[in-house]
Amino acid sequence: MKQTYIKIGLILFLPAAFAACKKGPDSNIQDRGNFTENGTALRDVADFPIGTAINYQPLTNEPKFAEIVKRDFDAVTFGYEMKHGAIVQSNGTYNFTNADAMVAAVGPMEVFGHTLLWHQNQNATYLKNYAGITVPAATELATNPGFESGLTGWSVFNSGNPAGTSTITATSVTSEVRTGTGAMKVVNPTGYPGSQWRVQVSSGTFNTTVGAQYRIAYWVRAASAGGSIRLSTGGAGSAQYQGDQTIGTTWQEVSWTITANGATTSFLFDLGQAANTYFIDDASVKEVVVPPSGGAVAAKLETALTDWINALVGRYKGKVKAWDVVNEPFADNPVAIRNNSNTTAATDVLVWSNYLGRDFALKAFNLAKAADPTADLYINDYNLESNAAKLDSLIAYVKELKAKGAKVDGIGTQMHITRSTSYAGIEVMMQKLAATGLKIRISELDVRALMGSAAGKMTDDLLAFQAAMYKYVIASYIKHIPAPQRAGITIWGINDANSWLYDNGKEFPLLYDNDYNKKPAYAGVLQGLKGN
């Protein structure tokens, strides 16, 4: 059933009631006026782009969604489909299928590119593996290392003098096994001082890289004190020998790192030195993986960033005429350029600035300019209307980037705000952004209104407060941002149910309800654009 929103203005007896008033730094008593809509498309009353955020699913599967996008707006930003995580695959290849389909679907509408460099919504697993931030687990090279298959894969080279004096067998006796169900048992009744090689058991041969290091490890104990064992190598290279290891009656790990000198290698247990009974379990041989240096990681990430920006910007050159090059570079409290300490870790997070340093944004802007010299390039962040230190830091950083030669054409202020966001904070932000002389965008506007209200639903008052906030934001933008600097306003979505904030009815932040009926918020935006 279609819903019609009509808000009857409250009768107020003071002339000042028609102006927005403050009752505190973070709260507004808003003009709950008549927010009805007359059928006018937003794009028809603005002399700058009025955009909306879209995503693949509603655009391609909900006809009403697509109809409203093309009827009421003249620009679109893809909420996810042009981000790193949407396009970059686990092997580093690119899949542009959804982005291409969306570009085709919106036809001649202006597309704003979002985003080239962000710490979230990335294939961070690929990036960390590629750059060496995540050190891959080394492959086990030993065959049957836990002796769960008896002595399969192991060979007896020597068994005493004469041969057969010692016995080498598999054991499944619980007291003789460290883990699992099997171990190797060596009974040497005769010691051969200085001749460990008299009793030898060899692993299978495995491939090695000359010059690479390999860690050989195993667990061993003896039936009585005073045991002795060592490792040695066989295979294509020359033999290497570990020093003798004294073995006691409790399980102990013995390890030895070698540098391979042949294309194939094996390792041998040498147990001829001292008469004893030995139990060996959980053998292992793995290549030593050396983490790359910080400089090596940065170099790999620069390569990944270069390839990514060239591929994305190059593909849509001419269709996408402006880009969010750097998104959310600053952490909030305290305000600082992001690093791994001030940014919450998640599977899709890689903080570029942590590895590329303060000039991470300079690199990104230079790459974007090279990929498309004609595109407008933006830096974008949130909470600028409520965090003065963040606003000032962002403006100063933009000045720093431009001094270093970066092509920064504009600043985006996201404005994911609430019905009670401070009007004063909005005013100050608009004035300071205007003073930069750069193009200014409201890049991701939505207004939370429910905010845990006891009513649990959008009442007439909440709808009116939300509409008033939308109106105020638009009016403040037009008032303070000079016309040549007005790069546009993007509402971050169409209808509540498709909003990133909806969460099964916990918020209703957009201009259309779940059934695609216009809310008072739509009239608020329209009135703000018209100046009435």
**DSSP three-state, residue 123:** coil
Please give the helix or strand (H or E) that residue 98 lies within, else none.
Answer: helix 97-105
Query: 201, 268 in Cβ contact below 8 A?
Result: yes
Here the tokens at position 20 are 């927005």
Can you give the C-alpha Rg of the chain in angstroms? 34
* 291 upstream amide cis, omega within 30 of 0: no
Residues across the chain: 532
DSSP type of residue 9: P
Identify which of 189, 203, 357, 354 has the alpha carbon closest to the alpha carbon of residue 275.
Answer: 189
Identify which of 528, 20, 162, 128 has the alpha carbon closest to the alpha carbon of residue 351.
Answer: 128
Here the tokens at position 433 are 């952004």
User: Catalytic site residue 444?
Assistant: yes
Identify which of 469, 449, 473, 468 has the alpha carbon closest to the alpha carbon of residue 459.
Answer: 449
441 contacts: CB under 8 Å, gap ≥ 6? 378, 380, 410, 411, 412, 413, 487, 488, 489, 490
The residue from 328, 385, 444, 507 that is catalytic is 444
Report d(CA 397, CA 358) in Å as an integer.
10
First-to-final CA distance of the chain: 31
- Quote the Cα angle for 413-418-424, to 5°: 65
Report d(CA 262, CA 264) in Å as an integer.
5
Residues involved in catalysis: 444
